[in-house]
């Protein structure tokens, strides 16, 4: 990481000057845990967003896409946990719009300056009295140090809140990027610009227009949230919103050194949160990096890496501390990637597993030492080109099955 980028202790969305946040209990969760978050910019903020590519996109996603395409500014981002407002038809979309109107009235901002996101059970109409209560409680609770409360309020099956912030000096001035995310299951995002569920709010005090922010956000999403998988299931609600209020006075434009330095800071925040999501995957005990190198193309490398990362047989082997590399080569073989098995070498960390398509002869005890670790890397070297791709994955445990057999928000 660039040594100009510094992580802030207990950083969050409100580490950024000009942003307030709150996390409250509106009543969506039967447990009584916090379930409604509000992030508010004291100044009109430029913004960009990327959303799930799932055809069954939730109502807040449909509305969010509209707002990104329409442009303008943002003042608030509200997130409820406990109802996804997905597969709810015209009424669900009307409820998402009404949520923005309620926020606008409470905050005295235009409804067009509000976006919403939801996570929870699919197919249930939103109880708007709970949305009303959420804003009634959250607006007076908005605070310059409320970011960590907000991160707790968006959790579902997450076991820990996920928030981060960094500072980076650009032209001698401190620029801050803060973020929060949630997601532990239903995680295999394929976020796209408009044209869980994992939800993410990113704040910054950089000065940039919406188009510049979009050029930053989408490629950073491709190299962070789009590189992770817990269970291979994409959500109906995946959403990432980036808000920039310009309070640092530092302006950036594409093609400049300042743009590149800010991109590094933004990516460092998004990758840290993406990593935390995999580490906190439902029932996860392992963090596994699957890396394919020297493939004929990046597309081939991506197919191969994702096949291994999502293989149920591989994931259950990792949980059982089983170095069974036969499952890895099988996944590579059916991935659709073009390669010659005779050129393929595989490593667990630095330990040879497969050489030229066959057993490398490493004692199984040595392989076992690797796969017992909390974190390890599987490197698949196709030896045929320059294409590379990596994915962060987790194992699949008994607890994952228990959580998702019983889960009912």
> Any catalytic annotation for residue 197?
yes
Q: Which of 197, 203, 289, 379 is catalytic?
A: 197
Written in H, E and C, the secondary structure of the chain is CCCCEEECCCCCHHHCCCEEEEEECCCCCCCCCCCEEEEEEEEEEEEEEEEECCCCCCHHHHHHHHHHHHCCCEEEEEEEEEECCCCCHHHHHHHHHHHHHHHHHHHCCCHHHEEEEEEEECCCCCCHHHHHHHHHHHHHHCECCCHHHHHHHCCCCCCCCEEEEEEEEECCEEEEEEEEEECCCCCCCCEECCCCCCEEEEEECCECCHHHHHHHHHHHHHCCHHHEECCCCCCCCCEEEEEECCCCCCECCCCCHHHHHHHHHHHHHHHHHHHHHHHCCCCCCCEEEEEEEEECCHHHHHHHHHHHHHCHHHHHHHHCCCCCCHHHHHHHHHCCCCCCHHHCEEEECCEEEEECCEECCCCHHHHHHHHCCCEEEEEEECCCCCEEEEEEEECCCHHHHHHHHHCCC
Give strand pairing partners of 77: 39, 115
Catalytic residue numbers read 197
């Amino acid at each position: 990481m660039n040594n100009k980028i510094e992580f802030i202790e207990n950083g969050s969305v409100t580490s950024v000057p000009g942003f307030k946040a709150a996390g409250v209990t509106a009543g969506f969760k039967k447990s009584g845990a916090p379930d409604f978050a509000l992030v508010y910019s004291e100044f009109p903020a430029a913004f960009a967003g990327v959303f799930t590519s799932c055809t069954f996109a939730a109502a807040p996603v449909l509305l969010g896409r509209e707002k990104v395409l329409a442009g303008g500014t943002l003042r608030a981002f509200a997130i409820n946990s406990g109802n996804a407002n997905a597969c709810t038809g015209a009424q669900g979309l009307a409820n998402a719009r009404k949520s923005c109107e309620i926020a606008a009235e409470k905050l005295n901002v235009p409804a067009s300056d509000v976006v919403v996101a939801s996570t929870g059970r699919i197919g249930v109409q939103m109880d708007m009295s709970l949305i009303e209560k959420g804003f009634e409680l959250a607006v007076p609770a908005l605070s310059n140090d409320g970011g960590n409360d907000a991160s707790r309020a968006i959790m579902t099956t997450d076991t820990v809140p996920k928030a981060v912030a960094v500072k980076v000096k650009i032209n001698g001035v401190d620029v801050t990027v803060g973020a929060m995310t949630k997601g532990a299951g239903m995680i295999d995002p394929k976020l796209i610009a408009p044209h869980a569920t994992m939800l993410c709010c990113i704040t910054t005090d950089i000065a940039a227009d919406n188009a510049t922010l979009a050029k930053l956000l989408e490629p950073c999403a491709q190299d962070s949230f789009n590189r992770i998988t817990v269970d291979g299931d994409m959500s109906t609600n995946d959403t990432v919103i980036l808000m920039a209020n310009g309070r640092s006075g530092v302006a950036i434009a594409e093609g400049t050194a300042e743009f590149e330095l800010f991109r590094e800071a933004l990516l460092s925040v998004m990758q840290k949160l993406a990593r935390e999501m995999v580490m906190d995957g439902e029932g996860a005990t392992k963090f596994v990096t699957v890396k394919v190198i020297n493939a004929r193309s990046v597309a081939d490398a991506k197919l191969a890496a994702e096949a291994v990362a999502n293989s149920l047989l591989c994931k259950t082997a990792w949980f059982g501390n089983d170095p069974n590399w036969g499952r890895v080569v099988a996944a590579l073989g059916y991935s659709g990637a073009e390669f010659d098995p005779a050129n393929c070498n595989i490593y667990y960390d630095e330990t040879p597993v497969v050489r030229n398509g066959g057993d490398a002869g490493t004692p199984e005890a040595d392989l076992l030492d690797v796969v017992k670790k909390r974190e390890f890397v599987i490197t698949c070297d196709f030896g045929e080109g320059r294409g590379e791709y990596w994915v962060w994955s987790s194992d699949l445990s008994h607890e994952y099955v228990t959580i998702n057999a019983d889960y009912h928000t």
